[in-house]
């Protein structure tokens, strides 16, 4: 146990899409609070995850992957979320992938390099590197390119070196009392999580381009006779997309609903009844107004 003062603050987690930011948040919190998928641009919102230690509370801020080609209103919104979360944080974690420093990583670094907060480079997915010594020249190159408070190689998936990461980050947080009560793990409520889990399953089950034009909205969330009743609308941008989401004889939609329901059942230890509808709102991702209606915060 440490004899130092209690420290608490916000730790923004930024990086290009698909490097493992959300996986890292879930691994550190020890519970799935933010969705994960093998495709880029999965996270769209700022989601907080709270990590409690004897001498520190880390309020992790999961952010959408910063991406250079953000032409649509929704993509610009995602980048704004990531940047404003970074500005508001006490410590920044720039997540990259082991052995892969891309032009987009460089672009992300350019976006945050002017910020005053301590910044750590988190080199994720080291489980994919054999033998590990291969990483040394890569780590040296990163150290040369990015003047950071530290470089921490980890595997979010294998939970490798995460305690070390928590330790070095906690040391840089301000001396402050906890920001959240000890039983709070996230700022998001159950309907938000339900919508996100449905979107995660859609992302997993649909071909590559489609998930970007999909939004999930909870229309009804209620407890009835000990069960959680959820009605969700899956918004797509065109009639053709609706047919794809539903699938032949409704098979795909059924499977997506089944997977989401199982996950929510397990997570909440409650019986969940989930009904899904697919509706069309043309080009909603290009519309500031549609984003507002869907509850994307104003930034
Ligand atoms: N091998 C390996 N895969 C990982 C690790 N961490 C994450 N992944 C995988 O990388 C993919 C992307 O993970 P996410 O956590 O969704 O990445 P993200 O950075 O949040 O992505 P966006 O939200 O799209 O910006 C998923 O398939 C994860 O399972 C890791 O430590 N090792
Ligand atoms: Mg994510």
- Residue pLDDT, tens place only, 150-204: 999 999 999 999 999 999 999 999 999 999 999 999 999 999 999 999 999 999 9
**Nearest Cα to 70, choosing from 100, 95, 107, 33?**
107
Q: Is 226 exposed, middle or buried (0-12, 13-18, 19+ CB in 10 A)?
A: exposed
Out of 20, 62, 94, 211, mutate this one to test ligand 1's pocket (max ligand atoms within 8 Å of CB): namely 20
Residue 298 binned pLDDT confidence (cut-offs 50, 70, 90) = confident
pLDDT reading at 297 higher than 90: no
**pLDDT value of residue 28:** 98
Question: What are the b/e assignments for 259-271, b being 16+ CB within 10 Å?
Answer: bbbebbeebeeee
Residue 5 binned pLDDT confidence (cut-offs 50, 70, 90) = very high
Residue 258 binned pLDDT confidence (cut-offs 50, 70, 90) = very high
Q: Whose CA is nearest to atom 2 of ligand 1?
A: 125
DSSP 143: H
**pLDDT value of residue 208:** 78
Residue 299 binned pLDDT confidence (cut-offs 50, 70, 90) = confident
Contact (CB, 8 A) for 90 and 12: no
C-alpha dist (Å) from residue 248 to 204, 214, 234, 241, 243: 17, 19, 17, 13, 8
**pLDDT value of residue 73:** 95
pLDDT tens-digit map of 124-152? 999 999 999 999 999 999 999 999 999 99
pLDDT reading at 285 higher than 90: yes
- pTM higher than 0.85: yes
C-alpha dist (Å) from residue 229 to 10, 126, 128, 278: 34, 41, 41, 18
Location of structure tokens 């990259």: 96
Judged by DSSP in three states, 259 sits in helix
Ligand 2 midpoint to CA 35 (Å): 7
pLDDT reading at 41 higher than 80: yes
Q: What is the mean pLDDT of residues 21-27?
A: 98
% of the chain surpassing 90 pLDDT: 94
Residue 2 binned pLDDT confidence (cut-offs 50, 70, 90) = low
pLDDT reading at 209 higher than 80: no
pLDDT tens-digit map of 68-84? 998 999 999 999 999 99
Question: Ligand 1: residues within 6 Å at CB?
Answer: 15, 17-23, 36-38, 40-43, 64-65, 124-125, 127-128, 155-157
- 36's CB contacts (< 8 A; 6+ apart) are 22, 23, 26, 42, 200
Q: What is the mean pLDDT of the chain?
A: 96
Q: Which domains does the chain have, with CATH numbers?
A: 7-171 (3.40.50.300), 190-293 (3.30.300.20)
**pLDDT value of residue 197:** 98
pLDDT tens-digit map of 95-124? 999 999 999 999 999 999 999 999 999 999
Q: Whose CA is nearest to atom 21 of ligand 1?
A: 18
């Amino acid at each position: 146990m440490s004899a130092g003062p209690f420290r608490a603050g916000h730790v923004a987690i930024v990086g290009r899409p698909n490097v493992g930011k959300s996986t890292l948040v879930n691994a550190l919190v020890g519970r799935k609070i933010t969705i994960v998928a093998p495709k880029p641009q999965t996270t769209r919102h700022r989601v907080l995850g709270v990590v409690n230690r004897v001498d520190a509370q880390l309020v992790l801020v999961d952010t959408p992957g910063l991406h250079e080609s953000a032409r649509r209103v929704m993509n610009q919104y995602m980048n704004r979320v990531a940047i404003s979360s970074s500005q508001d944080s006490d410590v920044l974690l720039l997540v990259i992938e082991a052995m892969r420093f891309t032009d987009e990583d460089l672009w992300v670094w350019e976006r945050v390099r002017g910020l005053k907060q301590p910044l750590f480079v988190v080199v994720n997915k080291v489980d994919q590197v054999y033998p590990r010594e291969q990483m040394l020249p890569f780590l040296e190159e990163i150290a040369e390119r990015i003047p950071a408070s530290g470089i921490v190689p980890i595997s979010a998936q294998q939970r490798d070196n995460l305690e070390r990461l928590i330790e070095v980050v906690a040391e840089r947080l301000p001396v402050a009392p906890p920001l959240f009560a000890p039983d709070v793990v996230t700022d998001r409520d159950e309907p938000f999580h339900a919508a996100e889990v449905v979107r995660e399953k859609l992302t997993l089950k649909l071909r590559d381009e489609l998930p970007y034009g999909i939004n999930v909205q909870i229309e009804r969330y209620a407890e009835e006779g000990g069960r959680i009743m959820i009605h969700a609308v899956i918004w797509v941008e065109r009639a053709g997309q609706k047919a794809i989401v539903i699938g032949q004889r409704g098979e795909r939609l059924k499977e997506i609903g089944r997977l989401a329901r199982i996950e929510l059942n397990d997570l909440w230890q409650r019986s969940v009844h989930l009904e899904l509808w697919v509706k069309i709102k043309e080009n909603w991702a290009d519309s500031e107004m549609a984003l507002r209606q869907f509850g994307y915060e104003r930034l």
